[in-house]
Amino acid sequence: MHRERNAKVVATLGPASSSAQVIRALVEAGADLFRFNFSHGSHADHRARFDIVRAVEKEVGRPLGVLMDLQGPKLRVGTFAEGVVTLESGAHFRLDLDATPGDATRAPLLHPEIFAALRPGAALLIDDGRVHLEVVDCGADFAETRVVNGGEVSNRKGVNVPSVVLPISPLTEKDRADLAFGLELGVDWVALSFVQRAKDMAELRSLVGNRAAILAKLEKPSAIEDLKAIVEHSDAIMVARGDLGVELPPERVPGIQKRIIQCCRDAGRPVIVATHMLDSMVHAPVPTRAEASDVATAVYDGADAVMLSAESASGEYPVEAVTMMDRIIREVEGDPYYRRMMEASQPQPQKTSADAVCAALREVTRVLGIAATVTYTSSGYTSLRAARERPETPILGLTPHLHVARRLTLAWGVYPLLSADIHGVSDMIEHAKYAAVCNGFARGGDRLAIVAGIPFARPGTTNLLHLAHIERGEVLC
């Protein structure tokens, strides 16, 4: 049960990790949450993996979260008569709504919403930014561009439009069908791609309701401009550095990553750092030193979780990649400098009873050498506010609701556990002792910090901090 680390590992499932044997091995190696990428695979594929995850969850006796990642809009150029063209830097190139196959002077771009938003001077990036076009003139059905950086362009390559907000919903018809399937399946988190503004998350919330928690993937420059509002409208955030690194100069991405993490910490929202973290492990059993440093930096910055994509979904070493991620996190969190970093970036508590109690909790765990913090929560709120404070103890998040326990697998330092309903303070203390001792977090002679809300089982009422002592020889298990 006890990972002996605080930051979590998110592993993407795919062809390399579809069997019960591999998925169980990923859990044993350190995976806390599984990502299902709906850009790939059929509903039947996802259902089969989902059923295996739930079976493994029962076997290992710990909640496992499932995150469905919606594909979002895919903007692409059309086809070319020769299949591929080479665009020379400095040349002129036209994009339009004519579906006729293109050549070295023009190509179809069958997305009228792009032309509706373009302005002269705007950038168009093709094939993950390998080809850079600058708009010289445009209208409702065309764009005349100058090739800034040339190169080969082949059929159906992706197009990024970094400098404008496109008048489109991030939810396509495919996404809506996938979302209905995922909610029926019982996913715990829904990640939305192509988020440009806070109202995109409001649209997703209106469809999801309380059936799952929602997560915004930040991969558009416009989302960074609306960062605080997007964080407030989301239950969690993902720093999706793949597209973000295409649409922004690479040198800006590290600073933006730190800004996003701090904004999430201020708001008490879990944040995942994702994309290319151990990319070389798709084909190699060990990462580069730069990749190890990249993962470590995210952990030092206070990220709740780090994520593997192709490494665990289609790579040759999925279990080794999770093991490596686990090792890096443990090494960072064992460094005294890590605790100093957490304290230096500690957000100010908000003027609420929950934050007052949890700020006191952080100081109590530091001064008294508490073995573990136990939070009682019916919605997850108390555990998340405790995690915001980054206490020096593990947080046992006790909840009577399995769906809440599964969502808390994403939160820093929280070890979610199912618990019976609590009916009084003495009952609360006994349950806390039992959970801490029987799951290996405490033993006789240790002290616990217990955080809860009275009346019990009422969301958002965190108002109690209690210190409990486990007597030596006290029989609990």
Spatial separation of the C-alpha atoms in residues 406 and 58, rounded to whole Å: 13
Spatial separation of the C-alpha atoms in residues 49 and 45, rounded to whole Å: 6
**Candidate list 5, 35, 269, 388, residue with the active-site label:** 35
**DSSP reduced 3-state for 169:** coil
Give me the count of residues in the chain.
Answer: 477
Token code pair at residue 58 = 């029962």
* Amino acid symbol at 79: T
Contacts of 34 (CB under 8 A, 6+ apart): 10, 11, 12, 13, 23, 26, 49, 53, 64, 65, 66, 67
Q: Is 366 tagged catalytic?
A: no
Token code pair at residue 178 = 């996938």
Query: Residue 455, preceding bond cis, omega within 30 degrees?
Result: yes
DSSP 141: T
Q: Is 217 tagged catalytic?
A: yes
Determine contact, residues 188/212, Cβ cutoff 8 Å: yes
Spatial separation of the C-alpha atoms in residues 259 and 303, rounded to whole Å: 11
The backbone region for 257, taken as left when phi is positive above 0, alpha when psi lies in -120 to 50, beta otherwise, is alpha
* Amino acid symbol at 365: T
Q: Is 228 tagged catalytic?
A: no
How many Cβ atoms are within 10 Å of 190's Cβ, its own excluded? Answer: 25
What are the start-end ranges of the E strands in 75-209? Answer: 84-87, 92-96, 106-108, 123-126, 131-139, 142-149, 151-154, 159-160, 189-192
Token code pair at residue 47 = 């259902």
Q: Could you tell me the CA-to-CA distances from 476 to 103, 135, 138, 358, 439 in Å, in that order? A: 76, 71, 73, 27, 11
Q: Is 8 tagged catalytic?
A: no
**Candidate list 145, 275, 365, 462, residue with the active-site label:** 275
DSSP 150: -
DSSP 353: H
Nearest one of 92, 91, 95, 136 to 115, comparing CA atoms? 95
Determine contact, residues 163/135, Cβ cutoff 8 Å: no
**Candidate list 5, 217, 220, 406, residue with the active-site label:** 217
**Candidate list 3, 76, 174, 211, residue with the active-site label:** 76
Spatial separation of the C-alpha atoms in residues 8 and 30, rounded to whole Å: 8
* Partners of residue 11 on adjacent β-strands: 34, 308
* Partners of residue 214 on adjacent β-strands: 190
Catalytic positions are 35, 76, 217, 275
